[in-house]
Structure 1
Amino acid sequence: MSDLQAAAARAMACLDLTNLNDDCTSEDIKALCQKANTRHGPTAAVCIWPQFVAEAHGHLLGTGIRIATVVNFPGGDDPAEEVLDLTEKAVADGADEIDMVIPYKALMEGHPQLVPALVSRVREAAGSARVKAILETGVLGDADLIRQACTGALEGGADFLKTSTGKVAVNATPVAGRILLEAIRESGEPVGFKPAGGVKNTADAAAYLDLCDEIMGPDWARPATFRIGASGVLTALLATLDGEDAPVETAGY
């Protein structure tokens, strides 16, 4: 197995196969769940809209593939009570992980205390489900703001720091990923990292694995601590594992 094939195998086991398209249907969810159980083994999870969690739970029973869903998504400014109600319902429907957008606009407006406040409330509402805090690093832009977002999410008890919604112009970047990983390392807490959006091919996925290996150590990046949020990269990973040429990249998450 080549180095790139080894990276593809690692990445696929850590993939949150995603469909957060506005026109997503029940048939799309069924197809996504089938794709997640690949000929080279399962992905870590599917990431879908809350209204499809119960359906996905039925499709994925017995596979070990987790279900992630999104709240306060994508704008990060939904009413808190709606966010908490949606979190509780999603977990009741079978969600294993809650990917929540932090109130990043409030952070940019000078209200950093609202970040840990909401994260901690979602963390409580999620019960045993993991909470991934989406920082929307491409909008925050400034390294100091991204660090503040990390600090607030960690203070609130987030289980993962996630870069992006995939719904803005700039999503995951290695620069932002380094900031998140360094914040996790400095915290000393068992918190994971999820780059999302913009991971298009095996080389992109390998670059984030290399970044994790550099900052956190060679054995750190595994499904419990590292995820890739993407929709199209699975095709590229499978092609790499099959020893085939990668397909032409497509637009999207």
Structure 2
Amino acid sequence: MDDLTLAQRLADAAGAAIRPWFRRPFLVEMKEDFSPVTAADRDAEAAIRRLLDEYRPEDGVIGEEYGDDRADAERVWVLDPIDGTRAFVAGRPLFGTLIALMEGGQPVLGVIDQCIIGDRWLAGPDHPTTLNGQRVHARRCPDLADARIGTTSPQAFGADDFVQFEHVRRAAADTLYGGDCHNYGLVAAGHLDAVVESGLKLHDWAALAPIITGAGGVIMDWHGQPLSQGHDDGGRVIAAGDAELAATIAGLLTG
């Protein structure tokens, strides 16, 4: 089974584990970083790991809920079973399962799967980004004054980062809040022009990078540097459909 086919099998398994919990009673726990976790998060990651153990036993795995296994391997799968657990808890179908494959510390394959409304973005080697099987393209929008931008929550920014983000928000045509990983899929599909965030971890962005670049967009840190497994700029990320727009945003964020 090739990696793209396997990645979709992994997403199918995660969705099957998540759907029975959606809008049903369940316990919400708070982790040490004050982020919520549910049985759905854990069941979904466990389902993915079972398949990886079967089909890719030599590959490494880094998961949000169950930690690292052979994280120094050449090939590493990076998992966020529910990106947007707060949205999931609230019954909002804007969360997603994120599955990435890293090779040599670089993300080469990504899946964003929204198992309730049925949106699935997929990108990988020799496979430009698709949404539900149809190729998508990011929108060319070089002028921030014409751009629709998104971010999950103002509260996710540190105080200094939020001040810088406000420069971008004021200059943009419109700003949307909420959406988590779904926002990045919307950039890839040309519906949203950029996403700006801070505090992301590897499992938050690894799957997003191939999705954005495979649609002709750009994803980078606030200083314009590419994202990689060993790179850390405080989880500060810009994703945009247009490289000129990304550069303008980066200038406002760091200037």
Q: TM-score, normalised by structure 2?
A: 0.28
More helix by proportion, 1 or 2?
1
Higher relative contact order (CA 8 A, sep 6+): 1
Q: TM-score, normalised by structure 1?
A: 0.28
